Amino acid sequence: MFAGCKKKGGGSKSDTYYFRGRADGALMASTSGITGSLRTSPVSQLTLFGRYGAETNFGGFDLSLIPFNGPGTYPLGRMEQSLGLFRLDKQPLANYVYSSATEGSSGSVIVTSFSNNVVRGKFEFTAKNNLGESKTVTEGEFEVKVENQ
């Protein structure tokens, strides 16, 4: 279902896949759980995950692109199908998940390439948690191995 995070060769910034961005200016670089999946039915959906911190189940970024049609720009926001999440590795989890699908949130994911089951791109978005607190994610970038479901 999901791919590991080790790359089998060079050709990019490092020998591992990456998923990173700045949340309110602070660099958040995923150190584990860098995975992707592509579902083609009933609608094409690309989902990407990257985790950081002591609790790898919590902190990190999630991107879900619906419908996924390869390289291009995918808008994020309350009325959009695609979704961006930023998670802090704190409890209670519900207070520390910031979603682009909330009122006043916006952004985009730009997929620059998708070949040999590796997706590369950039992202930025504003998001809110369930308390209405905002985070701004900038300078996001990823290179992730994708498995077909």
62-to-27, 33, 95 alpha-carbon distances in Å: 16, 11, 16
DSSP string, 62-116: EEEESS--SSEEEEEETT-S-EEEEE-S-SSGGGGEEETTSTT-EEEEEEEEEET
Mean pLDDT (whole number) for 12-22: 76
Residue 133 clears pLDDT 70, i.e. is over it: yes
Which band of pLDDT confidence, cut at 50, 70 and 90, is reported for residue 124?
very high
C-beta separation of 18 from 149 below 8 A: no
The tokens describing 127, both together, are 């998001």
Which pLDDT belongs to residue 122? Answer: 98
Cβ contact 18:5 at 8 Å: no
Average pLDDT, the chain: 86
pLDDT tens by residue, 21-32? 999 999 999 988
Per cent of the chain over pLDDT 70 is 87
Whole-prediction pTM:
0.85
- Tokens 């040999």 belong to which residue? 116
Average pLDDT over residues 59-66: 94
In one-letter notation, the amino acid at residue 15 is: D
Q: Check whether 44 has a pLDDT greater than 50.
A: yes
